[in-house]
A and B are shown apart, each in its own frame.
Chain A
Amino acid sequence: MGTIYLIASLGEVYAERSGVLNLGLEGMMIMGAAISFIFTIAYGHLVAILMAALIGVLMSLILAVMAIHLRLNQVIVGLALTLLGLGLSGLITFPDIRRRILSSLNPSLPESMLMIQQAEKLPEIPIPLLSQIPLIGKTFFTHNILVYTSLILAIIMWFILFKTRYGLIIRSVGENPSMADSLGVNVFLVRYVTVVISGLFASLAGAYFFIGFHPFWREGVTAGRGFISLALVILATWNPLRAILGAYLFGGVETFQYRLQLFGLGAQSPYFLAMLPYIITIITLILISIESIRKRIGVPASLGTPYSREEA
């Protein structure tokens, strides 16, 4: 469960470190889920993951053009993309439309496959030997491939961000773009790359959530998890390693909630989840606009501010 949050927030850490807030995370995530739903039925898991990645890249390019090039307000553009993703994912999975999409994608699909609400789940890969350990073996070492990949990814992304030249460039662009520009760094390119990374990761997280964890489609299936990932970025103070801890904490709490329900305890409130996006947007806005808080928790100094050479 925590893996979804981890993947999405890793990408967002990069975008925000370079000074761009990607509030479209939820939209990109649910599009990743919807696309992976359709393509898993049509062509299987591998194609589904690739197409989910592609949709994330496309959506984040829209954000990049609007927020970096046209210097529009990042909050508004991001929310617009979230709304777009929620609407579009509902549209393409609407039974009648989905049926047409599927039959044109793969005409050889049997009729029964065109209408199912469920996709095949990703297989779990037990790690040889380790998974044989009694008690903890099954819990820790029997997962699908994305879980392992995401953990390694978090470490690699931390290393790049804090120990290499490219990481320094990303962090500097987020702190002081005009200075980076004066030293010959291409501020726009850096921000495009990080925003695309955030979109790519968000839609992959969505795909993983759907085919790896919960392969039953319903509208709005990601249920605010993109926004939780946004909150996680702040909680992790823009550090990929700390994001691991936060992600599994969030994921753990959520799983625990499901377990409680199985025993009939504490019904999960749909209202709380419905409220979440707005609460998190408001909290993010407050955090990035109060100067003293910005300094204390180390918000990248140019977060939310488009860069242009003339105004610098």
Chain B
Amino acid sequence: MEELVHLHGIVKRFPGVIANDNVDFTLKRGEIHALLGENGAGKTTLMNILYGLYKPDSGEIYIEGRRVEIRSPKEAIKLGIGMVHQNFKLIPQHTVLENVILGLKDVGFIIDSKKIGEEIKKLAEQYNWKIDPHVFVWQLSAGEKQQVELLKILYRKAKILILDEPTSVLTPQECKYLFYALRMMVKEGRGVIFITHKLDEALAISDRVTVMRRGKVVATKNTWETDIKELASFMIGRPVLFNIEKNKTYSDEELVIVRNLKVFNDAGVLSLKNVNLTIRKNEIFGIIGVTGNGQQELAEVLAGLRRPVDGEIIIDGIKIVDPNPQKMIELGVAYIPPEPMKYGVAPNLSVIDNLFLKAYRYRPYSKKIFIDIKKMEKKAEEIVEKFNIVCPSPSIKVRSLSGGNIQRLILARELSELIGGVRSKLIIATYPTKGLDIAAAEFLNKSLIEYSKLGTSILYITEDIEEAMMVCDRIGVIHDGKIVGTFKPGEVSVEKIGLMMAGADASISS
């Protein structure tokens, strides 16, 4: 098979790190090549080099056997390279057509939207996509938006497609359509580079897999010659346990009761339409769903950050009236927010300050208008040790810590019984493992399970079905502001969960 792309000896250094260390990579015509690795392994850097966003410090790039230098995305596009970024680069207020043709020179001065619309429609139909080129992008679902991104590239006649974590916003069904379309595209003589950190995905879609770790290529294998265990050990450098031992006792006592909850989102639209759920003591209750179906608002209401419009919340027998964060903290509710760097820590404050962001106002750390810094320092050392937060000193600024360490810091703040030595009754964890490497995610999930054994209830919000199955005792699927089904892991097939996430009528309860 002919080589479309050949990267040879690529080196890219950023201050303090080598993001790509002498990397070799090839893409053949007609293949889907998965580029597998954890966050920070150097996958995206490598692809940004190929797409002209970064300039490599050394190394050579060959496109269809010809040595090239790619200095900008414009040049990459000219060479037939197209990239779908993880966050869509689309303009919601413009139509599909306008998004597709932006920046193209050969559409002429006056846009002939009828003719171009037909062309786009025809192109979409080749892959069984039903997209009206004249609707606005904000009217489309995540899956359709991704199709527009692909159309953008295909309309420019790209031969080399780079997809960066393309499934992170899709339901399992939408993933299937995507995989089907990608198969068609490579059959027509293109090559696809599929960046992912999900092992099962790499196995399901690709012809070959290249695994990266810490900026280096660990292995390139034909997909049919490898398996999930081998890939995982390549990825993290040691064998991984895929099941966490739970073995715990269950309680019947209901700690959290939510009835008919209705909540507005920031845009003033009802995003929780009628939510009913109960969480028992000891229980980890999972919420899965496609992002933006109300799970964030649910977490915020329970954390006291958002006011319900209607409905009832009872925690440990106490009816919550007029919630605010402090009230909820005093009730024993802990909150692990999404995007820790943005919502979870104050990056310019020290580790100590961040650990005591909640506890500073309570005894023994608060003495009337003063705070007891000595006591805080002493306790902080203890916590840093216990939660394995790697930092040179607890007085260092949080912004210099790695993502895993920041997440451990938040976990420590929320779990370490700083307020009056009392354990939290309810922990709300929103996407707690997002962006973490496998080892850090494992640690976090294990800690949560340990806490649930001690009697704490946990609301675990995630979009990863596998993870929910592994960690949770019961799972609710949220769609369009409603819990559309509740079940125990293993009771319902992944297939069916996907349908529920997509809003298909398949309500099940247990």
Tell me, yes or no, whether A binds B.
Answer: yes
Q: Name A's B-contacting residues (CB within 8 A).
A: 163-166, 168-169, 171-172, 175-176, 178-185, 291-292, 295, 298, 301
Q: Which of B79-112 contact A (CB under 8 A)?
A: 85, 89-91, 93-94, 98, 101-105, 107-111
Q: Are A185 and B266 in contact (CB under 8 A)?
A: no
Q: Are B109 and A179 in contact (CB under 8 A)?
A: no
Q: Are B101 and A292 in contact (CB under 8 A)?
A: no
Residues of B within 8 A of A295 (CB): 267
What residue in chain A is nearest B97 (Cβ atoms)? Answer: A168
Tell me if B367 counts as interface (CB < 8 A to partner A): no
Given known A-B contacts A164-B109, A180-B103, A175 and B89 have beta carbons under 8 A apart = no
Q: Are B93 and A183 in contact (CB under 8 A)?
A: no
Tell me if B77 counts as interface (CB < 8 A to partner A): yes
Residues of A within 8 A of B375 (CB): none
Min CB distance A292 to B, Å, is 6
Q: Are B91 and A184 in contact (CB under 8 A)?
A: no
Q: Are A175 and B94 in contact (CB under 8 A)?
A: yes
Residues of A within 8 A of B276 (CB): none
Given pairs A165-B109, A171-B98, A184-B103, 15 additional interface contacts (CB within 8 A) = A163-B110, A165-B111, A168-B98, A172-B91, A172-B98, A179-B90, A179-B91, A179-B102, A180-B102, A182-B73, A183-B103, A183-B152, A184-B77, A185-B102, A292-B266
**Of A165, A172, A183, A184, the contact of B94 (CB 8 Å cutoff):** A172
Residues of A within 8 A of B110 (CB): 163-165
Given known A-B contacts A169-B102, A172-B102, A295-B267, A184 and B74 have beta carbons under 8 A apart = yes
Residues of A within 8 A of B72 (CB): 184
Min CB distance B94 to A, Å, is 7
What 3 A-B pairs come out closest when comparing CB atoms? Answer: A183-B103, A184-B74, A179-B89
Bound Cα distance A183, B91 (Å): 13
Residues of B within 8 A of A166 (CB): 109
What residue in chain A is nearest B78 (Cβ atoms)? Answer: A184
Q: Are A175 and B93 in contact (CB under 8 A)?
A: yes
Q: Name B's A-contacting residues (CB within 8 A).
A: 72-74, 77, 85, 89-91, 93-94, 98, 101-105, 107-111, 152, 266-268
Residues of B within 8 A of A165 (CB): 101, 104-105, 107-111
What residue in chain A is nearest B267 (Cβ atoms)? Answer: A292
Given known A-B contacts A164-B109, A184-B77, A178 and B89 have beta carbons under 8 A apart = yes
What residue in chain B is nearest A166 (Cβ atoms)? Answer: B109
Bound Cα distance A168, B113 (Å): 12
Bound Cα distance A185, B102 (Å): 8
Residues of A within 8 A of B102 (CB): 168-169, 172, 179-180, 183, 185
Residues of A within 8 A of B105 (CB): 165
Min CB distance B48 to A, Å, is 11
Q: Are B109 and A182 in contact (CB under 8 A)?
A: no
Bound Cα distance A163, B105 (Å): 15
**Of A164, A172, A183, the contact of B73 (CB 8 Å cutoff):** A183
What residue in chain A is nearest B107 (Cβ atoms)? Answer: A165
User: DSSP majority for the B interface?
Assistant: loop
Q: 28 A-B residue contacts at CB 8 Å?
A: A163-B110, A163-B111, A165-B101, A166-B109, A168-B94, A168-B111, A169-B102, A171-B98, A172-B91, A172-B94, A172-B98, A176-B90, A179-B90, A180-B102, A180-B103, A181-B73, A182-B73, A183-B73, A183-B77, A183-B103, A183-B152, A184-B73, A184-B74, A184-B77, A292-B267, A292-B268, A295-B267, A298-B93
Residues of B within 8 A of A183 (CB): 73, 77, 102-103, 152
Given known A-B contacts A175-B94, A176-B91, A184-B72, A168 and B268 have beta carbons under 8 A apart = no
Residues of A within 8 A of B109 (CB): 164-166
What residue in chain A is nearest B75 (Cβ atoms)? Answer: A184
Residues of A within 8 A of B268 (CB): 292
Residues of B within 8 A of A163 (CB): 110-111
Bound Cα distance A172, B93 (Å): 9
Bound Cα distance A184, B105 (Å): 10
Q: Are A185 and B103 in contact (CB under 8 A)?
A: yes
Residues of B within 8 A of A164 (CB): 109-111
Residues of A within 8 A of B73 (CB): 181-184
Given known A-B contacts A163-B111, A184-B77, A292-B267, A168 and B101 have beta carbons under 8 A apart = yes
What residue in chain B is nearest A179 (Cβ atoms)? Answer: B89
Bound Cα distance A290, B114 (Å): 36
Residues of B within 8 A of A169 (CB): 102-103
Q: Are B91 and A175 in contact (CB under 8 A)?
A: yes
Residues of A within 8 A of B85 (CB): 182
Bound Cα distance A181, B72 (Å): 10
The interface centre, meaning the residue of B94, B102, B107 with most chain A CB atoms within 10 A of its CB, is B102
Min CB distance A207 to B, Å, is 30
Bound Cα distance A183, B78 (Å): 11
Residues of B within 8 A of A172 (CB): 91, 94, 98, 102-103
Residues of A within 8 A of B111 (CB): 163-165, 168
Min CB distance A298 to B, Å, is 7
Residues of A within 8 A of B108 (CB): 165
Min CB distance A246 to B, Å, is 21
Min CB distance A16 to B, Å, is 14
Min CB distance B136 to A, Å, is 11
Min CB distance B266 to A, Å, is 7
Residues of A within 8 A of B104 (CB): 165
Bound Cα distance A169, B103 (Å): 7
The interface centre, meaning the residue of B73, B74, B103, B110 with most chain A CB atoms within 10 A of its CB, is B103
Residues of B within 8 A of A291 (CB): 266
What residue in chain A is nearest B53 (Cβ atoms)? Answer: A182
Min CB distance B84 to A, Å, is 11
Bound Cα distance A171, B99 (Å): 11
What residue in chain B is nearest A185 (Cβ atoms)? Answer: B103
Bound Cα distance A163, B74 (Å): 24
Min CB distance B289 to A, Å, is 24
Residues of B within 8 A of A178 (CB): 89
Bound Cα distance A165, B107 (Å): 7
What residue in chain A is nearest B108 (Cβ atoms)? Answer: A165
Min CB distance A178 to B, Å, is 7
Bound Cα distance A185, B94 (Å): 16
Residues of B within 8 A of A179 (CB): 89-91, 102
Residues of B within 8 A of A168 (CB): 94, 98, 101-102, 111
Min CB distance B153 to A, Å, is 10
What residue in chain A is nearest B72 (Cβ atoms)? Answer: A184
Min CB distance B12 to A, Å, is 16
Min CB distance B471 to A, Å, is 34
Residues of A within 8 A of B98 (CB): 168, 171-172
Min CB distance B336 to A, Å, is 26
Min CB distance B116 to A, Å, is 11
Bound Cα distance A214, B237 (Å): 81
What residue in chain A is nearest B51 (Cβ atoms)? Answer: A182
Residues of B within 8 A of A298 (CB): 93
Bound Cα distance A298, B73 (Å): 29
Q: Are B94 and A182 in contact (CB under 8 A)?
A: no
**Of A181, A184, A185, A301, the contact of B93 (CB 8 Å cutoff):** A301
Min CB distance B87 to A, Å, is 10
Q: Are B74 and A176 in contact (CB under 8 A)?
A: no
Min CB distance B64 to A, Å, is 21
Min CB distance A170 to B, Å, is 11
Min CB distance A107 to B, Å, is 48
Residues of A within 8 A of B91 (CB): 171-172, 175-176, 179, 301
